[in-house]
Each structure stands twice: as C-alpha cells, then as structure tokens.
C-alpha cells in the first residue's frame, strides 16, 4: 500500500500530518493508515520541543471518510473478545492525541465522518472551513453500529450529553456553523473566497498554527483535557428525562427496527457517569454486542452495494465517456415534470419547460423554482435562492424551442399513443446528438421507440414521486438504446444527486414490478374489511416510510391504474385488476392531486384525513362475509403485504417472465 500519511514541519515547533491516499479518491482509515499514524505519533511523543500537531488532508472536499468498511465486511466469524480488542486498539491510538506533550488540532476541510470524526474529537481542537462540503458526523448507526474508537466517550464530554445523543443516534452530519454553535468545532475558517484551493489550504493551516499558539499561551487545552477525562455532571432526574425522551424519539424514527441507536443511547447515558477511561471500556464491550449481527451485516452490504452503484457507469465499457449535458428540456409541467425541472435547476442546469396547458405550465414552473429554492434552515424558499434559480427555467410553447437541448425528458400522461405522437412532432426539432427520454413508469421503451428515426438515442429515465425526496432513478435500456445514451442518462441522474440503476425493458421495469404485488395485496386486504389504518400501520411498522394506501394517493390513482393494467396484461395469473381502483378514477378520486383519493385533502395540504365518501364507495366492493371473518393481526397483514413482493423479487433474479 502506498504511503498515505506524511510528516512535515511548516514551522520548527509545529508538526503537520497530511493525509492523501494516492490510490483512492478519499482518505480511509484502513489498518495500514492507522499503523502509519501510530508510527508518527510514537516519534512525535518523544519530542519535548513541539508546540503543536496538526492533521489535515490534501483531498479536495474530504478530510477523512471514515474507517475501511471492507475490513468490517471481511471480519467473518470474529469473536466478541476479538471485536473488543480491535475497538480498544483503535481507541487507544486516538486517545494518545489527548495526551501528547503539545496541542493537537484537526484542520478539517471537507467530509469528516465516522472514524475521521473520532480522530478529530480526540484532538484538543477542531477547525472547519466554510465550504458547503465541510461536514462532521457519526453515521455508524446507519451500519447497525455506533462509534467504537471513543466517539461515544469524547463527543458527550465536548458538546454535552444531549447534543451527543442527537449526533450519534441520528447519524446525520452537521456543517461548520452548527459545529461551532454546538461546541464541537472551535472556529470556522472562511476559505471559500480564497483565490485558489492552495490558497484556501494555506489559510486553514495558518489558522491552525495560530490556534496552537493561542492555546499554548492560555493553557485552555490542558484544562479541557482534565475536564473531558472525568464523568459528566448530570443529575439522575436529568439523565432519566433524556433517556425517556431520547428513547421515545428514536423508537418513533426507527419503528423499533434498528437496535444501534437505542444501544448507543443506553451506552452514553450509563458511561457518562464514569470517567473517560472506564467509558471507553464500556464502549468497546457494547460495540461488540452489535458487530457482526445480521442487521449489521445487512446494512454493511447495503452500504457496499450503494458505493458500487456510485462508481457504476451503467455500461460494460467503463472507458466510454458520457455526453456532457449542458441544457435540459422537460415536456409536461405536472407533478413529475415540475419535480424533474426543480431537481435539474438546483444543480444549475438550465431547463426549457413546456406543457400543453398554459395554466399547468405556469404552475409547474413556479413549483419547480420553489422546490429548488427550498432552504432547510429557513424551512422554505429564500429570496436569494429564488433569484438564483428562477432565471434557469424557460417556459415555451413550441417544440422548436428544444433544438438547443442536449437531453429532453418527456413527462406527459401515461398514454402510449399520446407519447408517440409527441415524439413524432418533437424529433425533427432535436439536435443531431440530442437524447430523448421518457419518464414512463410502465410503458415499453421498445414500443415507444418504434416510430423514432433515432431509437439508439432514446431510453427511459424514470424518476419517482416526490422527485426532490426520492433518490432512486430507473434508467431503462430499450432494445436499440446505445451504450452512449445509457451512460449519459446514468451520468445525468448522478449529477442530480440521484442513485440510478440500469434495467432492461420489461413490464413495470424493476421497481413497479416488485411494488405492484404489494400494492395489489393492499387493495385485496381493503376489500376484505381490513381497515386502512391497520394496513398502512403494518407496512410502516415493518419499515416502509409510508403505507401502501397512502402511497396510492401520493403516486396518483390514475397512474397506478394504468401501470396496474400493464402488469395485469403481462402477468394475469398473479396481478389482479382492481375494480375498486377503476371506480375511484372514474369518480375523479385521483389522490393528492385531486384532493380526494383513499383520503380527503384540504387545500394546500398533503395530509390525508378519513373520508366518509370513500367509505361509501368502498362498501360497494366489499367481499361477501368479509366483516364477519376473523380479524388479521399485524403479523398476518405484514406477511400478506410483503411475501408477494419477495416472491416477485426471486422471479426477477431468475430472469424469467419478461414478455416485452
């Protein structure tokens, strides 16, 4: 393995450890890297003339991206004692930073998470740049674990137990400003206006050196070392209140499916009353209880698959360069079209938007700009962001206006005839190398491309509703779609911050093929007198973000009806056509967009409420004797919902039953 950590002395009494792994795009704390750090510390600890030791990274946008997850995945059949020993070894290495004969500073520019954040909190001080990429956090709970190298020991003693509980059990990162307010970082270094990355790096280094000088003069770091080595002063009543509120919140967020956040909470509450040395022992022992469990291994597998997807170009030829997309066209300004437009302009790509109805075009344009301009802190669009993103959308009425677009995405009604007629008018206006894509959720890409002059430049790019929240995008390869087209579609989706997967043309593609057996079963339960609350409750308790009945209203019942018809035509033996769904669409109950579906919705609200009018409609489709049948418990409902989905997934993996 190449050298990752280099030692230099920007000033005679200032040691600088710089991390830069030449073989990777990010700095990872693999075992060889930890050994390099240990070797440098061993030499530096013998020095009595040093004022400070500073850690920094030369990776743009990344300080340290955590431990090496692949080492975790490879640790099969490891015993509890071996796990405790590994955790203890890592913690003892980082503990040395809090005992060195000089001030230790983590100069953070970019992502600092997991093991990187643990290294940082064992330093005496932390500086963070004002770059939007600079974040610090402990995401281990997302792998079914919690910090095991002293993160649960140091963080509570630095920022307070309540703040540490929120950081570690939530697993989300915070920016530099929030870190300073919390006390996790000492200061924000404004490098964003530096003339060059090198100038910004030098500015951060000089700020770190200045911090070392100041700490040596005041001796504050020594007083903090002493304070952070002791138990946290907190009354039994305060601990009990934090435990009760924290446990209730975690259970609400995780539905009881993930043990790591609760385990981290209990550990921090208990270990807070011990000194740091004893708390570290408790951390290692509790960490070993979670490491290697089925949930831990499953979540690590999800992480590795997601990581692999980030590197996947979508085609076999990894050297194929995708076409650079500079301008995007979107046809259809409804829920999906406006969502796609919003996601695109948020990445500062200009969009040409059209719709057959002028009122929809105006509304869709407004919604797209508002979504792109949403600010988490302000909890709504800000004037600054509105002024930034509004000019990026151009509303047009003529197909000829799309001549300058590199990529055009069609997001009109799910009707094959309408789409093909649109393509016939549109294709003649497109540039010679422009890509045309459909946001269809179920129509065969091969059939849609059959009338095109250039089917090789056509594919499916299927976003999910709501676009701003849903990270998944299906890129559907038609029979004649070229590798260049698919690679470009994948690169475009990744550029929007999405996670694209490439699937072959087939009924329901991948997501809807798996989803519709589940959705179909929800309707069967509904007409069998199982209450909506019980159906959606069972799905949410299993871990779904929302229940299937609510999902119908979000997706739109007309869309669901059409996609369901495609699935029924392809797999009539296992996908039933629902007369209830058809009746609801005929009655104009389309879900949230019509303010009535399975639920009723007030104006400007997406919160569904029980609707007596729906109950009357449902009664017409109730199965005879359903009300008198034994009631299903939550377990039975869960099995009814998810086993059909699981069975369909096995068919997909086998690669059979694809009639397109």
Distance CA 564, CA 555 (A): 12
Peptide bond into 255 cis (omega under 30): no
Distance CA 428, CA 425 (A): 7
Distance CA 408, CA 391 (A): 19
Distance CA 107, CA 119 (A): 11
Q: Which residues pair with 353 in a beta bridge?
A: 330, 395
Reported residue count of the chain is 660
Tokens standing for residue 101: 């004969």
Find where tokens 């929809």 sit.
360
Q: Residue 121 — φ and ψ, nearest 5°?
A: -75, -15
Q: Which residues pair with 15 in a beta bridge?
A: 53
Q: Please state, in angstroms and as integers, the Cα–Cα distance from residue 472 to each residue in 262, 409, 500, 540, following that order.
A: 29, 16, 6, 20
Tokens standing for residue 518: 């589940």
Tokens standing for residue 541: 């308790």
467-492 burial, b if ≥16 CB within 10 A, otherwise e? beeeeebbbbbbebbbbbbbbbbbbb
Active site residues: 462
Distance CA 209, CA 53 (A): 9
Which three-class secondary structure state does DSSP give residue 601? strand
Q: Where are the beta strands (DSSP E) in 109-198?
A: 111-113, 125-129, 135-137, 174-175, 187-189
Distance CA 572, CA 638 (A): 24
Distance CA 489, CA 474 (A): 10
Q: Determine the distance from the C-alpha atom of residue 551 to the mean position of all C-alpha atoms in its chain, rounded to a whole number.
A: 20
Which three-class secondary structure state does DSSP give residue 329? strand
Q: Please state, in angstroms and as integers, the Cα–Cα distance from residue 12 to each residue in 42, 52, 126, following that order.
A: 18, 10, 22
Q: Please state, in angstroms and as integers, the Cα–Cα distance from residue 361 to each residue in 133, 365, 393, 655, following that order.
A: 34, 6, 11, 41
Query: Residues near 129 by Cβ (< 8 Å), separated by ≥ 6?
Result: 108, 109, 110, 176, 188, 189, 190, 191, 192, 200, 204
């Amino acid at each position: 393995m190449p050298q990752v950590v280099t030692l230099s002395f920007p000033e005679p009494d200032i040691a600088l450890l710089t991390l830069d792994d030449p073989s990777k795009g990010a700095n990872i704390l693999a075992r060889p890297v930890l050994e390099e750090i240990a070797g440098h510390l061993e030499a530096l600890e013998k020095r009595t003339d040093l004022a400070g030791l500073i850690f920094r990274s030369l990776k743009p946008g990344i300080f340290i991206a955590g431990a090496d997850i692949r080492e975790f995945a490879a640790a099969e059949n490891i015993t509890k004692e071996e796990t405790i020993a590994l955790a203890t070894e890592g913690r003892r290495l980082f503990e040395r930073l809090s005992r060195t004969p000089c001030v230790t500073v983590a100069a953070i520019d970019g992502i600092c998470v997991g093991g990187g954040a643990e290294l940082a909190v064992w330093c005496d001080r932390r500086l963070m740049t004002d770059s939007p990429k600079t974040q610090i956090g402990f995401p281990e709970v997302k792998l079914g674990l919690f910090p095991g190298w002293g993160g649960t020991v140091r963080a509570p003693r630095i920022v307070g137990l309540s703040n540490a509980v929120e950081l570690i059990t939530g697993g989300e990162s915070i920016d530099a400003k929030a870190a300073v307010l919390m006390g996790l970082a000492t200061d924000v270094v404004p490098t964003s206006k530096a003339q060059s990355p090198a100038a910004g790096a030098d500015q951060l280094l000089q700020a770190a050196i200045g911090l070392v000088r100041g700490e040596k003069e005041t001796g504050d770091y020594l007083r903090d070392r002493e304070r952070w080595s002791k138990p946290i002063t907190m009354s039994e009543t305060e601990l009990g209140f934090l435990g009760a509120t924290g446990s209730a919140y975690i259970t609400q967020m995780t539905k009881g499916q993930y043990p790591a956040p609760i385990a981290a909470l209990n550990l921090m509450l208990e270990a807070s009353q011990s000194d740091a040395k004893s708390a570290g022992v408790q951390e290692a022992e509790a960490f070993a209880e979670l490491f290697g469990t089925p949930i831990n291994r499953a979540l690590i597998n999800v992480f590795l698959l997601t990581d692999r997807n980030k590197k996947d170009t979508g085609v076999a030829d990894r050297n194929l360069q995708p076409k650079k997309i500079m301008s995007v066209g979107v046809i259809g300004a409804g829920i999906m079209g406006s969502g796609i437009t919003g996601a695109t302009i948020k990445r500062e790509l200009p969009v040409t938007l059209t719709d057959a109805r002028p009122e929809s075009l105006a509304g869709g344009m407004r919604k797209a700009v508002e979504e792109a301009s949403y600010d988490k802190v302000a909890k709504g669009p800000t004037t600054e962001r509105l002024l930034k993103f509004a000019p990026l959308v151009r509303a047009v009425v003529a197909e000829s206006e799309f001549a300058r677009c590199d990529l055009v995405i069609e997001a009109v009604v799910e009707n094959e005839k309408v789409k093909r007629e649109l393509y016939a008018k549109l294709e003649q206006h497109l540039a010679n190398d422009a890509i045309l894509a459909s946001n269809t959720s179920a129509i065969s890409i091969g059939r849609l491309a059959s009338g095109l002059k250039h089917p090789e430049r056509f594919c499916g790019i299927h976003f999910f509703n709501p676009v701003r929240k849903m990270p998944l995008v299906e890129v559907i390869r038609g029979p004649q779609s070229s590798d260049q087209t698919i690679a470009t579609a994948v690169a475009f989706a990744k550029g929007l911050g999405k996670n694209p997967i490439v699937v072959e043309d087939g009924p329901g593609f991948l997501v809807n093929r798996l989803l519709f057996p589940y959705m179909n079963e929800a309707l069967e339960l509904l007409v069998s007198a199982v209450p909506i609350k019980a159906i959606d409750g069972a799905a949410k308790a299993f871990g779904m973000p929302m229940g299937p009945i609510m999902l119908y209203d979000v997706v739109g019942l007309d869309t669901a009806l059409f996609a369901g018809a495609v699935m029924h035509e392809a797999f009539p033996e296992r996908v039933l056509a629902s007369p209830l769904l058809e009746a609801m669409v005929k009655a104009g109950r389309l879900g949230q967009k019509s303010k009535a579906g399975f639920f009723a919705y007030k104006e400007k609200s997406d919160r569904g409420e029980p609707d007596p009018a729906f109950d009357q409609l449902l009664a017409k489709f109730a199965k005879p004797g359903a009300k008198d049948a034994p009631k299903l418990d939550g377990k039975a409902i869960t099995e009814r919902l998810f086993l059909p989905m699981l069975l369909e997934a096995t068919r997909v993996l086998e690669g059979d039953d694809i009639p397109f």
